[in-house]
Amino acid sequence: NAHIVRNCTSDRCKRSIHGHSYKVELLLKASKLDHGQMVYDFGLLKGVIKDLYDSFDHASCFWKQDNADYIEACKNFSARWVSLPVSPSAEQFSRIFFYLAQQVLTSTETQNGEGDVEVYSVIVHETDTGYAQSFAEDITNEQMGLLNLDQIEFSEQVKAEWADPEMFDKLIRGIKFQ
């Protein structure tokens, strides 16, 4: 993933496009197991959540409040881009990935006796030694920036690569996933 993190301390990070090979850990919790004795079948994570997370792979991410010329260049020179309501730092990526997974779980009709499955935490590894982690209280923390589905925009190329190109629009409209 490529980004610029505006207003940070490091001169290189705030002034130059650079990238990372992120690793994302999604931790779920529930108070009961499903009929297969699992919190949530890993196979289910290979659908909508995987498509959304994969949207950030080989993509340029930018803060929608960044410089208009920079945003336009990202859109013109990269078929894969994601516009975010917050700066694309590892900390904000952990919040975004938490929020997206939480929204998908809330919008999924379970069919195997799953319990109250929810996101416990998301860890985003930017490097082997540097990572950011978010929890539920971080998602609603207004000082960290408000997160709304309709404030996240994916390029047409990203959407075309999803199993269902209308998936994100369905999520925004509250249509349940099977």
Residues with catalytic roles: 13, 58, 126
Q: Which helix (H) or strand (E) holds 24?
A: strand 23-29
With CA atoms as reference, report the closest residue to 99 among 41, 49, 32.
49
Q: In what order do the strands lie in the sheet with 131-134?
A: 23-29, 118-125, 131-134
CA distance 151 to 162: 19
SS (H, E, C) 125-136: ECCCCCEEEECH
